[in-house]
A = this chain, B = another copy of it.
Amino acid sequence: MMEHIGRRLRIGVIGGGTGSFIGPVHRIAARLDGKFDLVAAALSSNPQRGRDEGRRLGFPDDRVYGSWRELIAQESQREDGIDVVAVMTPNDSHFEICTAALDAGLHIICDKPLTTDVSSARELAAKVRASGAEFCVTYCYSGYPMVRQARDMVRAGELGAIRQVQLQYVQGNLAEPVPSTGWRMQADRVGGSLVLLDIATHAFHLGAYVCGQDVESLCADVGATRPGGEVDDYVATLMRYGNGARGSLWVTNAAAGSEHGLSFRIHGDKGGLEWYQEEPNRLLHRRAGGFDQVLTRRLDPAMSPGALRSTRVALGHPEGYLEAFANLYEEFAEVVAARLQGERSSPDGDLFPGVIDGVKGLLIVDAAQRSARSGRWERVEAP
């Protein structure tokens, strides 16, 4: 598709200035496959700092903006204005920025969580639908080739019907000797429960993405495990998926000494799959009646179509987080390029998570919070 439009897509970034973890990630992801030119930036809520950083990072002087409003307003006036905006600001600003970008006719890549509550998320999804814009929510872990391998194997029935799911996302950063700071420590900017919105949404999405099933009901334990902790740092759930499969989940950012332990383990009638984000090029296939196989990422037809499409380097040359993130950008580029050609999304489009996935994330957070209050199982609403 990109070949047909004869140029790279133009992208502007909102947020992600100094001190941001995710800002550099988005920018590398946009550059990696050469399908975007990073041409405009509003990097900070502080106008001067935003402009200084934009210049330092090599954005053209006249397209470094003091605010996101300025960026959207001026870029939509330019002949060579941006095609896509990438939003990586604190959670509580996503709704307003995305709404304005849609009004300006832009396609959007937005960080998770989509917004900070169910109603704004549903409203945004309706606007996206109405506008016809392309929209990607960066549940980036679904960009890993071996995650797609797992999903394709489930779809192809290689595990039989899925019966059991276990999800983990076990970080330790809140329990480090030097405490965390920044907007994530402010409940109002986060939109409520830090652990639920910030990281559990990733784990819930990963489970649904691989299993092809949404959680229909759950029973949750949510709270703070650190002494004097005012921010939720722990959630564990019992779950029931759409097809009746049972699941459990443990997510925390306060397991002292932990790194970034995102993982899934799923079992169907014929076997199971296990994946650990910290060793993303491997997928363990446990087979009923046989020995385990270690599926390793490679560039050959032993991989599933989704895995093969999202890998760049041969067997034994590890890919990582940046490549996974870049896969969402690369796929989004293809879909947007098709749109610029007047075509609809490619069938590959379902590889990257869209606005409905973003809504589902807030719906499951909502159900978890209700369950934590009621001490009972609660249903997850439909999007």
Chain A residues with CB under 8 Å of chain B are 2-3, 8, 21, 24-25, 27-28, 31-34, 38, 56-58, 159-161, 163-164, 166, 168, 170-172, 175-178, 219-221, 223, 225-227, 234, 236-238, 245-248, 250, 252, 254-261, 265, 267-272, 277-281, 285-296, 302, 312-323, 375-377
The 6 closest A-B pairs by CB, nearest first: A260-B316, A257-B286, A318-B320, A259-B316, A317-B321, A257-B271
Distance in Å: Cβ of A49 to nearest Cβ of chain B: 16
Extra pairs beyond A219-B219, A256-B268 (20, CB < 8 Å): A24-B313, A31-B32, A166-B168, A171-B316, A177-B289, A221-B246, A236-B248, A255-B272, A256-B286, A257-B286, A258-B272, A260-B317, A291-B302, A292-B296, A313-B321, A318-B318, A319-B322, A320-B320, A322-B322, A376-B376
Distance in Å: Cβ of A175 to nearest Cβ of chain B: 6
Q: Is the CB of B171 within 8 A of A260?
A: no
Q: Is the CB of B269 within 8 A of A256?
A: yes
User: Which of B220, B271, B313 lies in contact with A256, CB distance below 8 A?
Assistant: B271
Q: Is the CB of B246 within 8 A of A248?
A: no
User: Known: A3-B56, A278-B316. Is A256-B288 also a contact (CB below 8 A)?
Assistant: yes
List chain B residues, Cβ under 8 A from A258: 267, 272, 286
Q: Is the CB of B259 within 8 A of A163?
A: no
A322–B8 CA distance with the chains assembled, in angstroms? 22
A283–B171 CA distance with the chains assembled, in angstroms? 19
A245–B270 CA distance with the chains assembled, in angstroms? 36
List chain B residues, Cβ under 8 A from A160: 256
Q: Is the CB of A177 within 8 A of B375?
A: no
Distance in Å: Cβ of A147 to nearest Cβ of chain B: 13
Distance in Å: Cβ of A299 to nearest Cβ of chain B: 9
User: Which of B164, B223, B287, B319 lies in contact with A225, CB distance below 8 A?
Assistant: B164
Q: Closest residue of chain B to A31, judged by CB?
A: B31
Q: Is the CB of B288 within 8 A of A58?
A: no
List chain B residues, Cβ under 8 A from A237: 238
Distance in Å: Cβ of A322 to nearest Cβ of chain B: 7
List chain B residues, Cβ under 8 A from A288: 172, 175-177, 256-257
